[in-house]
Amino acid sequence: MNLLDYLLAHPREVLTLTLEHIWLAGISVGIAILVGLPLGVAIARRPALARAVLGVVNSIHVVPSLALFGFLFAVPWIGERAPRMAILALSLYALLPILRNVCAGILGVDHAVVDAGRGLGLTDGQLLRRVELPLALGVIVAGIRVAVVLAIGIATIAAAIGAGGLGELIFRGLAMVNNSLIFAGALPAALLALVADLSLGWMEGRLRERV
């Protein structure tokens, strides 16, 4: 039996699940960016808070993903729909690399540049928007890149709680001991991760060489 059999026989199903997968990972990383960017900026200025926040967010990664999906059943509103649980869990995972890199990116900006900007009379907001964030952007994109690859990978497990995505084919294939089915889920998921990694890597390189 050829590994590509299922993929070629059911292109529409694979495409639908791929789009679902992209949607799950995309929304989750989007939420992680919306939370991680301002939070990362806030903790970059407060080292004590940074240690506490990064510690908490870090500890989320200690929870096995399957267990985290399970725990979320108990959360009101979130637990009612599988995609909600999946998106919350994926956002939590994606938060760490983004938060860490926003913080590290801002702290990594040359002190002389920040000192000069402040001494010349830029406000905190002007310094952030015009100097610190642009100069930290390469590092921040590197964090988003890790988050995207992580989310695409872990999103396959979301199928275990019925949230959809390419994991469905993989879990079905595992249950039926059907390699062609597993492959029909795994190949597009791997390609997604690869394409995301390469394109964000290219962007990161472009942003870093300006500095």
Contact positions toward another protein, by CB under 8 A?
Answer: 110, 112-123, 126, 130-131, 134-135, 210-211
Closest CA to 156 of 184, 183, 186, 197: 186
Please, which residues have CB within 8 angstroms of residue 4's CB and are 6 or more apart in sequence?
180, 183
Cβ distance to another protein smaller for residue 81 or 130:
130
Residue 50 Cβ, how far from another protein at the closest point, in Å? 20
- In the complex with another protein, which residue's Cβ is closer, 34 or 116? 116
For residue 49, the surrounding DSSP H or E stretch is: helix 47-60
Residue 58 or residue 123: which is nearer to another protein going by CB? 123
Q: What is the CA radius of gyration of the chain?
A: 20
Tokens (6 digits) for 172:
């079905």
Task: State the nearest-atom distance from the C-beta of 105 to another protein, in Å.
Answer: 13
CB of 136 to another protein, least distance (A): 11
Q: In terms of CB distance, is 175 or 209 closer to another protein?
A: 209
Closest CA to 189 of 161, 154, 163, 152: 152
Closest approach, Cβ 120 to another protein, in A, equals 5
> Rounded distance, CA 135 to CA 211, Å?
7
Ramachandran category for residue 121: left, alpha or beta (phi over 0 → left; psi -120 to 50 → alpha): left
The distance of closest approach from Cβ of residue 46 to another protein in the complex, given in angstroms and rounded to an integer, is 16
Q: Select 132 or 168, whichever has its Cβ closest to another protein.
A: 132
Closest CB to another protein among residues 62, 209: 209
User: From residue 31, how far is each of 34, 89, 98 by CA, in Å?
Assistant: 5, 11, 11
Alpha carbon 78 to its chain's center: 19
Shortest separation between residue 53's beta carbon and another protein, angstroms: 24
